[in-house]
Amino acid sequence: MKEFLGEGQHVRLVRRKGWEFIERLRVTGIVVVVGITRKREVVLVEQYREAVQSRVLELPAGLAGDMGAESLEAAARREFEEETGYTGKSFVHLGDFTTSPGATSEIQSMFRVRQVKKVGDGGGVDGEDITVHLVPIDDAEKWIKARAKDGLLVDQKVWAGLYFAL
């Protein structure tokens, strides 16, 4: 049985069997997209994250179901275009992954899209300040490590995404 300890606009803190963790509210899933251009570049995004008080290098990602009923693939397509300005023909589901299973019940669904093409500006919605980076896959490890050395935080899913990009 779950005990509700507190609730905000987007998350709820719960206790079950002695463990405390966070649940997301009003979403049906979370999607992450590994986008690869025709030039073999991986599409990464950078944005400020208040929880860590820093800009973070990430894969494009977002919530499913927060805008009404939609499939995970539809959410992946929408979020990828909103954040990056790119789209692609086929979004292939790569698997479902936990993010921080000791702290949240969140499970993310990762998709890969190849041969992406530019269709808009990207940059996010509702005040998101997203910078889009196109990084050659062959140089990605070096590029990411250099950005981290400069103080940019790197989401661990970037490394998992590179695995699938290769």
Indicate which CATH number applies to the domain containing 89. Answer: 3.90.79.10
- Burial label for 42, CB within 10 Å (0-12, 13-18, 19+), is buried
Q: Which domain holds residue 104?
A: 28-165
Residue 96 CA, chain-centre distance (Å), reads 12
Domain assignment present for 36: yes
Domain assignment present for 16: no
Domain assignment present for 67: yes
Q: How far apart are CA 63 and CA 80, in angstroms?
A: 11
Tens-digit pLDDT profile for the chain (166 aa)? 999 999 999 999 999 999 999 999 999 999 999 999 999 999 999 999 999 999 999 999 999 987 778 999 999 999 999 999 999 989 999 999 999 999 999 999 999 998 899 999 898 888 888 999 999 999 999 999 999 999 999 999 999 999 988 8
Residue 12, H or E segment: strand 11-16
User: What are the strands, taking DSSP E only, across 26-138?
Assistant: 29-37, 41-49, 54-58, 61-64, 86-87, 91-98, 107-118, 131-136
Are 78 and 70 within 8 A, CB to CB?
A: yes
Domain assignment present for 7: no
Q: How far apart are CA 55 and CA 58, in angstroms?
A: 10
Domain assignment present for 47: yes
pTM assigned to the model: 0.93
Domain assignment present for 17: no
Domain assignment present for 12: no
Number of domains forming the structure of the chain: 1
